[in-house]
């Protein structure tokens, strides 16, 4: 699992920061959280194959979060067999995507889009596979806005030395153990915990464009990593309340109440030319915290 911050600016790009997008690579999937203007170029700079995008999670329809979607879809449509792309977003997403498609001319027949609109008043699972599930919840912004958690499922892992010791080999019996079932080998009952262990799945939460609220805390609860917007320092709290954004104090409070292990803030106002002031501030409110920067990579 790897995360790449493709843009860390708020509202408008700066010389050093593009607008909002985060790319998460998980196994064979590419999950894009928002897709602001210039995201394709940022993917080029990061060495990310744009055709690997399989899912787009849209937090809301302000331009700095969605301005790059149509260009990305056009690029993907050029592939002989484009991947199926699942798009999740707040109510109105289907109409907005159609408006984007109608605004430009390209061969759209190859596109395979599956669009799901969300209005999760409380914590809701919106997608589930054998390996993970994605949860969402409404935030409180100036327009409909959704936050997301990616939750990897716990997996039973084989202790190879122990497995060899009892004569456990690859095949149906191994699969039974991995499914948590006991087996009999050479007349001896083998319990799953004798030859395997549970590897805890990882949880990453993405909270953007909101004021502090219970859903943000519930969604982020016990996350290994919380990625949160933090547009302002605390001395700009009036602006934060007016435009419904988080300060460093707000982000730290959510992280503390949600008992997350690590916090990374992003989505910074252009007024902060040097993010060191934000980095210093966020550590005052949550010790294991840091600022993101464009093209920052994290392996989990």
Q: Which residues are catalytic?
A: 64
SS3 state at 75: helix
Contact 231/167 with Cβ under 8 angstroms? no
Q: 168 φ, ψ to 5°? A: -85, 125
CA distances from 81 to 11, 104, 107, 151, 278 (A): 34, 21, 13, 29, 44
Tell me which residue has tokens 């329809």: 61
Residue 98, token pair as written in the block: 């159609």
Report CA dihedral (236, 239, 240, 244) to the nearest 10 degrees: 180
CB atoms within 10 A of CB 29: 16
List b or e across 157-184, with b for residues whose CB sees 16 or more CB atoms inside 10 angstroms: ebeeeebeeeebeeeebbeebeeeeebe
Gap between the Cα atoms of 24 and 209, Å rounded = 20
């Amino acid at each position: 699992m790897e995360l790449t911050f493709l843009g860390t600016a708020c509202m408008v790009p700066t010389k050093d920061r593009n607008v909002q997008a985060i790319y998460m690579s998980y196994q064979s999937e590419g999950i894009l959280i928002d897709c602001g203007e210039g995201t394709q170029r940022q993917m080029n700079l990061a060495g990310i194959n744009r055709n690997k995008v399989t899912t787009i999670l849209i937090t809301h329809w302000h331009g700095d979060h969605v301005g790059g979607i149509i260009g990305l879809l056009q690029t993907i449509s050029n592939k002989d067999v484009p991947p199926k792309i699942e798009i999740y977003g707040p109510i109105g997403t289907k109409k907005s995507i159609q408006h984007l498609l109608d605004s430009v001319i390209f061969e759209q027949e190859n596109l395979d889009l599956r669009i799901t609109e969300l209005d999760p008043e409380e914590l809701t699972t919106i997608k589930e596979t054998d390996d993970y599930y994605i949860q969402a919840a409404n935030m409180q912004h100036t327009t409909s806005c959704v936050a997301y958690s990616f939750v990897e499922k716990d997996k039973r892992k084989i202790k190879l030395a122990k497995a060899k010791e009892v004569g456990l080999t690859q095949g149906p019996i191994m699969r039974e153990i991995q499914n948590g079932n006991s087996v009999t080998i050479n007349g001896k009952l083998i319990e799953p915990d004798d030859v395997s262990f549970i590897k805890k799945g990882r949880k990453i939460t993405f909270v953007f464009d909101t004021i502090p609220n219970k859903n943000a805390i519930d969604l982020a609860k016990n996350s290994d990593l919380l990625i949160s917007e933090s547009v302002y320092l605390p001395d700009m709290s009036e602006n934060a309340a007016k435009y419904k954004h988080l300060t460093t104090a707000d982000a730290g409070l959510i992280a503390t109440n949600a008992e997350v292990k690590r916090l990374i803030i992003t989505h910074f106002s252009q007024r902060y030319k040097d993010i060191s002031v934000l980095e210093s501030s966020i550590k005052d409110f949550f010790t294991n915290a840091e600022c993101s920067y464009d093209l920052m990579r994290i392996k989990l």
